[in-house]
A and B are shown apart, each in its own frame.
Chain A
Amino acid sequence: MQVQEVVSFLKQTPPFDDLAPHVLESVCRDLSVVYIASGEHLLPEPQLLLIRSGLFALNTEQQRLTHLQSGDFYGYQLLLTGLADPDTILCEEDGLVYFLPQQSFDKLRHQYKNFDLFFQRLFSRRLHLYQSNKQQSTSTLKVADLVTRRKVSIASSNTVQQAALLMTEQRVSCLLIEQDEQLVGILTDRDLRSRVVAKSLPASTTVSEVMTKTPQSIETDRFAFEAIQQMSQYNIHHLPVEQDGKAIGVLTTTDLIRSQQEHPVYLISHIHRQHHSEGLNAITPQVQQLAMQLAEQQIPSYEVSSVLTSIMDALAQSWLQIAEQQLGPAPCVYSWLGFGSQARRDMLPSADQDNALLLEKEPLGAVADYFSAVAEIVCNGLASSGQALCDGHIMASNPELRLSLKGWSNRFAKWLNTPDPQALLSSSIFFDMRLIHGSKALFNVLQQDVLARCKNNELFLYHLAKNATQRQPPLGFFKHFLLEQDGRQRKGLDLKKRGISLITDLVRVYALSAGIHAVNTRERLALLQQQAVLTQRQQQNLQGAFDVLAHLRWQLQAEDLKRGRHLSNLLDPSQLNLLQRHQLKDAFAVIIDEQQVLRQRFCREI
């Protein structure tokens, strides 16, 4: 029998909440409890510290002051790395601290993968990547539901030529390599290309020489989401699936994509089949329904946003076709542009329209009239399909935004050369642009032109960086949340203005400085890391912070949709569980750090 107070506290503290009751009892047995009075220092020792009550000020080497409170951990840094941080922890309000000895901590880490992951991520400030088992259980799709039970395998003593032959015959992109019915390796199309052909190895090379030995694998009873996580973590496209220790097939990225995009694909093709405005008008409820479904399936928010964006793209394309049906063929080549979140493929159900027209010819006379009519039909059409009109008139229906290549080029040049507040505001919208319909060639010319103007334009980048770091995340000096009010008197954290936008702004500065074409934040980050503009750690941190914020915002808006409320970006932190609170603070802390780095890089006196 253990002290119930301690057990029930552990039960609601991640990652302990995932442990079975009998395990918790034994964890509890290993704890010792200390009372710390205010003014006392907590001295580091090789134990895991879990704050039960009270308030503790953690002062790190970087002079960053953090507050530790009930449910917070300390000491895992030392336990994980063996290196002590020169931190000081001062007790500000009397409290209790639970100590877990290293031995027990290590044992739990070895026995429970999720427990280990939690602290690894906490350590690398990537807690957002941690998924508690409980969260996963809400997603119903399992590996067994997705995998095709068809095993194509070969022995490792066969030659690669035999392997290639078998793959061709069986029309598979990978082979399982088995020995005594045990999975010992995997060989993929790509392996044959990069490890055999590219290295000019003979066809008689044995499979064992080129296969990936002891590959990653997953059990059939795991959730599809875990498979995705595993595949992206190890950057693999084929994941052997095992049941009772024996391979039964392979899960591929295609399987996963198919499983997740079944609905969206259906909806998109449905949109494309609509040739009348009535059909498109009726689409709104379906889009919302889909958004909610996706949000509930625990699919990463970037995928959900990307799916939603594809739907919005399809809607714009369909409305353009309807316009052309009504008005006759266009008098010249044009490109329909999307800006902002649509360009970044970052859309939420609350996103309004940000679009424009790029024309081959100057918008004069008949050309002007034609496109004015097109814009009218499409913008109003999109509004009737659920994409609200833009309050700031950043829409093709605004004559200022129906320009020729020369017109747009001049417009961008003006923003770049005189970076006044208005221009900077515009840049945050217009510099993220993407072709949605029409001429790719025309669009490419404009994009090249803009990127060439940005690169090495130090003055512009200076102002852009300064602008990007003006607003800060809502994290106070003591690492507490700063709440603000919206027009509807709701109080909370503005996840967009003080979170997601800060990251997109910051990443945009880097992307424009490096002449990167991509506009999607994830893609930009990946490219920035490839080009060594950002370190891998920076990229991962920003990516992680972005994912946490985007995910929370999706949940928020999905909940609003479900309850038929006004879609909001304001999050009430009291609605967060402990894990989410940690994650959100980590995400904000990343932004604060990265804003500082950005300022140092672009805002030196010039």
Chain B
Amino acid sequence: MWNWLRKPVAVHQRVLDYENEHSIDKQCLASKASYLVLDFETTGLDAKKHHIVSAGWVRISDCRIQLNSAVYQLVKSPASVGQSAVIHGLHNSQLQQGIELEELLSLLLQELKGSVLVSHHSALELNFLKHSCQNSFGRSPAFKAVDTLKLELYKMQLKGGPVAQNSLSLSACLARYHLPEVTEHHALSDAFGCAQLLLAQLKTRGASCTLAELFQQSR
């Protein structure tokens, strides 16, 4: 929490590389784009106070989830996971075998180049990404994500009627599309579930849907 006292660090090369090389054509058809579906498990909801304990991601290209791209990483946590272990089931001892946060971010920046970031309730992933990059690299690129939760909300609001509580949780969304359940609060399973959900959502949006529309509906 004393980070603001630190000397500003030179912007890390990783961030510069990312900013130079990452580009996405928003007019691209949503079905043709390449996606990286990401999920973090954290010690809490506040990116300023809490930490990432694990990350899982999987890639979608040509509207196919490519399981050979599936990655699951534990992250060394600077503080105890405390009570959050109840949710994600990861304990301090396991996390000591994880990689450093900086290493994870480098990996992610590399993976994200040219791909659209996707999450369910992406605000959390974006906040944690931003803060972590800020802390580790001195600056964070401007991340943008497609949010499957918002896509779902958009669809529901179009239909009209009240949106019931909990009806937007990942498991509720998967159930609505008759998709198989996933183990909740496991970063890779959640990322996989989210990827399945995105595939289903893309189908309902038709072939002409562009990335711009997805970003629009994710706001």
Query: Which residues of A are interface residues toward B (Cβ below 8 A)?
Result: 1-6, 9, 28-35, 37, 52-54, 93-96, 99
Contacts and interface: CB of A to CB of B under 8 A. Distances in A.
A54 B178 contact: yes
A96 B196 contact: yes
Interface string B176-203: 0111111100101100110110011011
B135 to A, nearest CB: 26
B64 A32 contact: yes
A28 B67 contact: yes
Nearest to A98: B67
B182 A5 contact: yes
A29 B68 contact: yes
Contact of A96 (B66, B67, B179): B179
**Most chain A beta carbons < 10 A, residue from B63, B64, B71, B189:** B64
A8 B119 CA distance: 24
A138 B155 CA distance: 53
**Most chain A beta carbons < 10 A, residue from B58, B65, B192, B204:** B65
A414 to B, nearest CB: 61
B70 A29 contact: yes
A4 B186 contact: yes
A1 B65 contact: no
A7 to B, nearest CB: 10
A53 B180 contact: yes
Contacts of A93: 178
A94 B177 contact: yes
Contact of A35 (B71, B72, B181, B199): B199
B67 A94 contact: no
Contact of B192 (A5, A54, A99): A5
Chain B interface size range: 20 to 34
Given A3-B58, A37-B203, A30 B68 contact: yes
B163 to A, nearest CB: 22
Contact of B183 (A5, A30, A53): A5
Given A5-B181, A96-B196, 11 more contacts: A1-B70, A1-B188, A5-B182, A5-B189, A29-B70, A32-B64, A33-B199, A54-B178, A95-B178, A96-B179, A96-B180
**Most chain B beta carbons < 10 A, residue from A33, A37, A96:** A33
B68 A53 contact: no
15 contacts: A3-B67, A5-B182, A5-B183, A6-B192, A29-B67, A29-B68, A30-B68, A32-B66, A33-B65, A33-B196, A35-B202, A37-B203, A94-B177, A94-B178, A94-B203
Given A37-B203, A96-B179, A3 B70 contact: yes
Nearest to A33: B65
B54 to A, nearest CB: 10
B63 A34 contact: yes
B67 A30 contact: yes
Nearest to A30: B68
B46 to A, nearest CB: 27
A93 B203 CA distance: 13
A299 to B, nearest CB: 39
**Most chain B beta carbons < 10 A, residue from A35, A93, A95:** A35
Contact of B179 (A29, A31, A53): A53
Nearest to A36: B203
Given A34-B63, A94-B203, A52 B68 contact: no
A33 B180 contact: no
Contacts of A4: 183, 186, 188-189
Contacts of B196: 33, 35, 96
A116 to B, nearest CB: 23
B66 A3 contact: no
Contacts of B68: 29-30
